[in-house]
């Protein structure tokens, strides 16, 4: 152990060289991250100290360098904290890190969609092989969706798919909802109409961050053949937002700063939320999109802002409607799409309804990205053990 040549001198920082780099850590940051059992509960990793437990006038009075570890002693209370050099090197305070994977910076964007690009895994493999499960869940986070194939076409299976990576988010539509033509639809989803790209439940806050759609039956043509429409389209909203920012920064800014009121009303429900169509992280990076004109309510802004908003909104809608941005899929029975509802817009073409024959039938449910990311992290941890 090497004594600090400046022992006895109080300092506000720890400075050291690790991995060939000169690193500098403030005393308060070190103390707040002290890993000793007085500061962190061994079982849970949770901190035992609140920020107000850190003494005022904190300084480092002694630095002891023991090769792979470095220990510092703090004034005024003589608390001693030891850190591994590799941990310090891995936490260098020289840039921005430790986001949570939710902004555009951590995504693989697909500005132009192609049929070849569909990440997919069969359900039996997903269940049996952790490596396939890891790949599928990572695709939801990185690319915004995955297509699970060969999921048994049994009612309620969509809930099992959700339970395989997280927790179902129950809403007024139930734990699961049936997407098929209803005689008295409470929502346009339950008709045979075409629906342009949109995100679900923009009138909710928090909106569900994951959506699942499991195909039980496809639409058939009048002659009973498949191909009766009801095809699914997906679109990368983060890639589209980046394109808007690159070509029309003013519209992008307008959409990011204007809260849009959304609403949904039926007999038992009256939901509303007012949030921008493009949501940014505090650092100004795209973190979410909401797009669903069906549920938009009248904007209540000063006249000039309404004019500016509609100009931006139209640009945005036109960009989202470009066919080359859309990935077209024909779900077959057993297909289950899992997608990021904060990023990927989904659409469907109109479909035929043939009297006397059962029509298109999907079952859907909602879940959340945080649980999915947690399941993925645990699978990766187990894989690395």
Residues 52 to 111: which contact a second copy by CB under 8 A?
Answer: 52, 54, 91, 93-100, 102
Q: Which is nearer to a second copy, 124 or 130 (CB)?
A: 130
The candidate with the shortest Cα–Cα distance to 268, out of 176, 173, 183, is: 173
Q: Which is nearer to a second copy, 112 or 188 (CB)?
A: 188
Q: Which residues contact 174 (CB under 8 A, 6 or more apart)?
A: none
Binding segment (CB under 8 A) for a second copy, from list 48-56, 73-81, 129-137, 349-357: 48-56
The candidate with the shortest Cα–Cα distance to 238, out of 137, 371, 368, 101, is: 101
The sign of the CA dihedral 378, 282, 210, 132 is negative
The sign of the CA dihedral 237, 239, 240, 241 is positive
Q: Which is nearer to a second copy, 162 or 215 (CB)?
A: 162
Q: Which is nearer to a second copy, 45 or 224 (CB)?
A: 45
In this structure, the number of other CB atoms found within 10 A of the CB of residue 176 comes to 19
Cα angle for residues 82, 85, 86 (degrees, 5° grid) = 125
Number of residues that bind a second copy (CB under 8 A): 95
Cα separation, 25 vs 108, whole angstroms: 33
Q: Which is nearer to a second copy, 8 or 43 (CB)?
A: 43
Q: Which is nearer to a second copy, 288 or 359 (CB)?
A: 288
Q: Taking CB under 8 A as the criterion, which residues in 2-41 touch a second copy?
A: 24, 26, 28-29, 32-33, 41
- The nearest distance, CB 311 to a second copy, in angstroms, is 9
Q: Provide the terminal-to-terminal Cα distance of the chain, rounded to the nearest Å.
A: 32
Q: Does residue 324 touch a second copy according to CB under 8 A?
A: no
- The nearest distance, CB 121 to a second copy, in angstroms, is 22
Q: Does residue 44 touch a second copy according to CB under 8 A?
A: yes
Q: Which two tokens stand for residue 355?
A: 């009297």
Q: Which is nearer to a second copy, 128 or 382 (CB)?
A: 382
Binding segment (CB under 8 A) for a second copy, from list 115-123, 182-190, 238-246, 323-331: 182-190
Binder to a second copy among 18, 296, 350, 353 (CB under 8 A)? 296
Distances (CA, A) of 219 to 59, 157, 216, 351: 71, 20, 10, 6
Q: Taking CB under 8 A as the criterion, which residues in 258-287 touch a second copy?
A: 258-259, 261, 263-266, 268-276, 281-283
Q: Does residue 157 touch a second copy according to CB under 8 A?
A: no
Cα separation, 58 vs 54, whole angstroms: 8
Residue length, the chain? 385
Q: Does residue 156 touch a second copy according to CB under 8 A?
A: no
The strand pair at 120-122 and 145-149 is best described as: parallel
User: CB of 137 within 8 A of CB of 212?
Assistant: no
Q: Taking CB under 8 A as the criterion, which residues in 136-155 touch a second copy?
A: none
- The nearest distance, CB 50 to a second copy, in angstroms, is 5
**Nearest-10 Cα torsion for 369, 374, 376, 382:** 180
- The nearest distance, CB 23 to a second copy, in angstroms, is 9
Binder to a second copy among 61, 81, 209, 363 (CB under 8 A)? 209
Q: Taking CB under 8 A as the criterion, which residues in 364-383 touch a second copy?
A: 368-371, 373-374, 377-378, 381
Cα separation, 45 vs 57, whole angstroms: 27
User: CB of 176 within 8 A of CB of 301?
Assistant: no
Binder to a second copy among 293, 328, 332, 383 (CB under 8 A)? 293
């Amino acid at each position: 152990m090497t004594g600090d040549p400046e022992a006895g001198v109080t300092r506000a920082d720890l400075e050291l060289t690790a991995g060939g780099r000169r690193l500098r850590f403030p005393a308060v940051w070190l103390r707040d991250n002290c890993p000793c059992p007085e500061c962190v509960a061994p079982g849970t990793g949770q901190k035992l100290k609140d920020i107000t437990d850190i003494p005022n006038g904190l300084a480092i009075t002694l630095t002891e360098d023991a090769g792979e570890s470095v220990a510092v002693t703090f004034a005024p209370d003589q608390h001693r904290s030891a850190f591994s050099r590799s941990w310090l090197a891995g936490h260098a305070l020289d840039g921005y890190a430790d986001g949570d994977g939710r902004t555009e910076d951590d995504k693989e964007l697909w500005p132009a969609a192609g049929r070849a690009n569909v990440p997919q895994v069969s359900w039996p493999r997903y269940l049996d092989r952790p490596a396939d499960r890891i790949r599928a869940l990572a695709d939801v986070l990185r690319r915004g969706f995955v297509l699970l194939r060969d999921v048994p076409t049994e009612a309620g299976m969509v809930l099992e798919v959700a339970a395989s990576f997280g927790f179902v988010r129950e809403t007024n539509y139930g734990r699961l909802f049936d997407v098929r033509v209803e005689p008295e639809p409470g929502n346009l989803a339950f008709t045979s109409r075409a629906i342009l790209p949109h995100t679900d439940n923009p009138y909710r806050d928090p909106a569900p961050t994951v959506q699942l759609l499991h195909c039980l039956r496809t639409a058939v043509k009048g002659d009973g053949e498949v191909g009766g429409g009801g095809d699914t389209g997906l679109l990368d909203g983060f890639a589209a937002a980046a394109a808007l920012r690159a070509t029309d920064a003013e519209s992008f800014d307008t959409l990011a700063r204007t809260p849009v009121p959304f609403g949904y009303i039926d007999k038992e429900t009256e939901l509303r939320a007012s949030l921008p169509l493009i949501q940014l992280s505090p650092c100004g990076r795209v973190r979410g999109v909401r797009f669903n004109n069906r549920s938009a309510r009248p904007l209540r802004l000063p006249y000039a802002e309404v004019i500016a908003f509609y100009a931006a909104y139209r640009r945005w809608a036109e960009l989202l409607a470009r066919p080359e941005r859309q990935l077209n899929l024909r779900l077959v029975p057993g297909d289950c799409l899992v997608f990021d509802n904060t990023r990927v817009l989904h659409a469907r073409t109109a479909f035929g309804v043939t009297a006397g024959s059962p029509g298109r039938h999907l079952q859907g449910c909602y879940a959340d990205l945080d649980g999915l990311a947690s399941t993925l992290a645990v699978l990766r941890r187990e894989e690395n053990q």
